[in-house]
Structure 1
Amino acid sequence: MQRNWGLEKMVLICWIIATALEMVSGQIRYSIPEEMEEGSFVGNAAKDLGLDLRELSARGVRIISKGRTQYFALNVKTGYLYINEKIDREQLCGHAIQCLLHIEILADGIAKLYAVEIEIQDINDNAPSFLNKEILLKCSEITPPGTRFILPSAQDPDVGINSLQSYQLSANKYFALDVQTANDGVKFAKLILEKSLDREEQGVHHLVLTATDGGDPVRSSAVQIRVIVLDANDNAPVFTQSLYKVGVLENAPEGTVVLVISATDQDQGTHSEITYSFIQITEKASKIFQLNSKTGEISVVGKLDFEESELYEIGVQAEDGGGLMALSKLTLQVINVNDNIPEISVSSLVNSVKEDSPVGTPIALLKVEDRDSGENGQVICSIPDNLPFQLSRSFGSYFSLKTDKTLDREQVSEYNITITVTDKGTPPLSTIKSITLLISDINDNSPVFDQESYTGYVMENVPPRTSIFSTKATDSDWDQNAKVTYSLMEGHILEVPLSSYISVNPETGVIYALQSFDYERFKQLQIQVKAEDGGYPLLSSNVTVTLFILDQNDNAPEILYPSLPTDGSTGVELAPRSSEPGYLVTKIVAVDADSGQNAWLSYLLLGSTDSGLFTVGLHTGELRTARSFLDKDVLRQNLVILVKDNGQPSLSATVTVTVMVADTVSEMISGLSSLSTPADTESNLTLYLVIAVAAVSCLFFIFIIVLLALKLQKWKESRMYESSDVNFHADPTSQFVGIDGVRAFLQSYSQEVSLTSNSGKSQYKCPSTRYSDTLTNTQTFEQQDFFLLSDGFDNKDQILVQVSL
């Protein structure tokens, strides 16, 4: 178990050393004397660190030093390290034997840190000095020889051989000097009475105490000692303690009483009046502590700092009115308090990183310091847990901030990283520093339409350049990578390029019609809209847009039957006079190129020769008789029929139908012949047609008479009167073949002609009408003639009559 623990410790130590070596690429040390002038040469840092002079400026090499005062500077052209500000070793390091300044040279371009250690050597620039210009001693005339008087020590801020080395006393016959060295190496002097004093002989003795250091050149200072000889005082003061020890908080406010010293004197009168004073105290301590000479209270008058000094040792003296003194020692232990807030300084910082940066990309190098000691100076550095970054200690007081996860600018484009540094003191103190990091964009997102597919409706006959639809695509990238451009994919409609019908605004995605749409040609458009961003490489996406063309009522009904033949004639419909109500005369056939309710047709009878004789089916267009024919009814009926659709607004067409009412062929022929021919001087065609119809009619009647005569003669010759019956069955059928193969049923009727021998004469019989589409007889012969007569009521309309026998 111990072996495993030792192995783990070795691995941990190796890891720490490797991490430190990774960040610190080199370490050098220089030694210079203090008080060098600004601009003085320190060392060739570029050469000593192995840096190329050409790379100093390109890699952003700079000095990072602790504190506000920058004592050193680096010339990036020469690589020399020189003095930037004069250094006072005593002010910087105090009485420390070794004074070291640490600076770091950072190369931003390669993220390397070089440690430089500079030793400041002491020079003898300070002479020993006494706190007061004069030392006043009172000595009773009965003081025995050998009595020692402690003298105030001189202070020399230099160290080593340059510090205080000796004391000398001016020549006299009463006093001698004893120089001793304390445990901390500080020399102090005592005045020894060698010969009894006689106040009456000499009441005041003037001495000179000289303090000398060991520097080159030697420096010294002197102080006047005035010894006043007093009358006899046989009891000296006595302190209550020979050594006072007390602790004081470093954050103790000014005026705080640290300790009250006390001494007693058994004498009376002025000889028992005790005065307290410091006799061994440093200049720095004298600015922090104050002694009340009457009460013995020691209070704080300056700022204590545990990090500057942990312990103060002060010599105190109690002197009575007779000049007798007592000595004691005061030890003040400064208690460390967590009174310094941790400090954060950014040594290196990257302002922005790409969103595709790998995990572990360095962001910043931070230096964290706390001037407190012990646990009060130990810090914990942290960032919020929900950030994709990792903060870890690099070496010493440096922390590195790196990416810990893959970044996505579309989710977070900017991070405000809050770094919190907290020490382990009680109560803990903390400081916060924020770093703003921008995430730069890459083109990693395609444009996305707000719908998977679009469906729209467009009215036909829309004017050109009309906005008919709008698409919208967004790109979650930024700037040029998010700029969307729209275009149409290639396509055809009825073998015509799609681009001739529609276009799309490349910036807005609005679709425009370049020409009108015709619902009767195509009923929908299916197009592909492409959205493309402006990044590199280009990313794009497509969407299907289906546009349904909405019908408009832009087509009037077209009448297929009856229609105007190409020769300008109009057909005549036949209706037997014996027809029952509801007899189907003909059927109006019409179509509408529109659709839906725009193609729903209605048929209306606008006018007729005899009102109430005919009706038209509202939706079927069937022309039927409304009642039986009367003798007063006109033989030729002209009917005007309106066909309209159900659109808004409604469109319509009219047609004129001529119906001949007749039971026999002779009635029909006579009715047709009675039709007046309208005068038309512009064309002779009508006249020719009338003559042709008349001629054909005459030939037809002659043929009938001759045929009947031949049949009667043959019958008589064969003498078959009793057993012969001849029946002619003619089933004429009137039909019309309309446009596009539409065949409209008109009407069918049959006439039966019978000749019998029982009557002794020929008899012509018109039986009741029946519907048929066949012609059957044992012996059948048929002749069909077409008569074209002009209509007396309608200009240029012509009548087509088909007679079947």
Structure 2
Amino acid sequence: MASSGAQGLRRCAGRAVLCCVVLTVCGAAAAGQIRYSIPEEMQKGSFVGNIAQDLGLEAKELSERGVRVIFRGRTQYFALNAKSGHLITAERLDREQLCGRAEKCLLNCEVIVEHEMKLYGVEVEITDINDNAPSFQTGEMELKVSETTAPGSRFHLRNAQDPDLGTNSLQSYKLSSNEHFSLKVQTASGGFKYPELVLEKPLDREEQATHDLILTATDGGDPVRFGTARIHVVVLDANDNAPVFSQPLYRVSVRENVPVGTTVATVKATDLDEGVSGDVIYSSQITDQASQVFQLDSRTGDITVFRNLDFEETKLYEMQLQAHDGGGLFDRSKVEISVSDVNDNIPEIRITFPLSSVPEDSPPGTVIALLIVQDQDSGENGAVTCTIPDHVPFRLQKSVDNYYSLVTARDLDREQVADYNVTVTARDRGAPPLWSATTIAVQVSDVNDNAPAFSQAAYSVWVSENNARGASVFCARAADADWGDNARVTYWLAEGELQGAPLSSWLSVQAESGAVHALRALDYEQVREIRFAVEARDGGSPPLRSSASVTLLVLDQNDNRPEILYPAAPRDGSTGVELAPRSAEPGYLVTKVVAVDADAGQNAWLSYELLKASEPGLFALGVHTGEIRTARALGDRDALKHRLVVGVRDNGQPPLSASVTLTVAVADSIPELLADLGSLAAPAAEAQASLTLYLVVAVAAVSCLFLAFLIVLLGLRLRRWRQAQLLGSAGGALAGVPVSHFAGIDGVRAFLHSYSQDVSLTAGSRKSQWSFGPPSSAGTLARPPAGQGKEPAPVVEDSNMCEADQAALQVSRRFCTL
């Protein structure tokens, strides 16, 4: 047998090679479909087809053009050899495993050429080879035949199985030679063959008690494969006595709560024969329902429970029993098993037609739900009573049989309790009693019976001035105890006026949130408070409303700088001048700085500070009064004018400030002040003329080293001639000068600079005349009395003026030009 198997494998291999060669030649990529055919059981890496040739490509072009194989399933049965261009198997292929008994076994995949975007279908047929021998389910079969069996009787044998197809599948059966039995092969629809054993000659147990036969099944493959099974025929003794039950009918009662495995009944049948003919075997012919609950022991006749009994499911079971001996004789009996009830079912509560919600204004007696209460037990075990808690505003009302209605017992108020969970308890009268409970969710729907309510009837709100336009200054919130649209509150501003304008131009209320927005930037200096009313209305039908009064108090911010009223700032940019007599004692009131602040509270608390003084310690400033007083007595050495910078600051956060510059002139009168200022200017001019002379002399001395005496003499005459041309007459007066023109940053110079000037000098009359034009602006000080200062004292000069006189003249000229 082993040699024949090896020979068959060699033949199979030869056929596989021949088939591959033929199919390779026949495979072609016609209409985008490539077909191959290979036998099953080829080893991994076996040749399937030449993909490169069928696609019209060289093997080296496969990788260049991106040729690859794609499978639809998870298992990859084939692979592409990039070097040879061959399609090879990726694993061993078993046709019976892949396709079963299908007539054709086809495996599909796709070959894609990525660079050309072409797709070719590949279909590989796996052909069958005779790789499976016929086999029986069991290698040995036992058959019992009575010695009284008539010739020609047939006995069914188990058939063999062969997963191969066609001629490779099961073809015939053969029985080993035997004089008592023969083999007959029956063919069913679809070509299925099954064997039957035929009794040809009567059996005699005393002559031969057993017969051993060999059944062989063969296929039509090349090489032929076969399978065998041993048939053991046991000849039975003749049986002339049938078994007899002790009772024709057995009646049994059992409680439904008996445990599984309990024996509920035992049947008994006797046979007068001996040996095999006297061995009684019990069997049952029962309904499917009983067969799932009871089990019959074929040897002992015990009937046991192997599944829990249920009285409510089945109250009575019937079983038809048979007792047969080894010779085929039998007797019949019947068993009736009645199940008695125990209290093992809890009451069931079913809710029908429940209301999803009930309005809170529903009258008492409104039906909420209909309940059906059932208990599958019987008698007292099935008698049920239902109850609900006492604290809920509902009650149970029994109608017909096991029907109950859940109705309202009193008025409902959703604002107090919005929903109820009503627990319905059903309890039977069993021993012990069983009960069940279910919860009915009752939702109370809202009715618009509550108006919106503000937390306060009146509100006081503080907001800082200079708020941003549109900024939220207050949120009016009203609560509504209702639900849904009935509790959806909208807000609006009640009509009113403020400073002659509609209130809606000052404030707005957002309808959904109640936020009050200021449409203008509020100014504490203009509006100190705004009184208005906010109304709230719900969305019910009809709607309910309420209102609240709001007082909006504007808080001051430090947004105004101190304003200095005195001294007023001059329009020409000069500073004010205040007089202080030289005889002033310490504490003398020179002047007072007066300032105001438009803010309120501590933002308007002003403090004064001396920021800068030309002579520190001479003047003192009142911090809260703004009074400027002398801190000590004035002396002769003190300057004629003093410059003071006074700062005014409020008490806000951050503080704001302003400043003013004052000039304090020390003199008993205005003429004295002018005379003192003139005497101060002369020494300064003299010193300047001396410096100029020194420079001229130095230059002339250096020039004399290089020029002759004549050149020096000529230069001196030319210098004298030039001086003679420059001499002239001039006159002037200070009469009619307003005191206000002493105000300025540089004192007297500012006063003189505000006038046009005309200066001339006459050498012959030896007089200098000074004249001034009219003032350019009104003054702050009083004019001198009439008749004073109209004619200024004449200034007499010699024609042969010395260098000191010329320096004084230059000082006078400069004084006038300033």
TM-score using structure 1 length: 0.45
TM-score using structure 2 length: 0.44
Structure with more relative contact order (C-alpha pairs < 8 Å, separation 6 or more)? 1
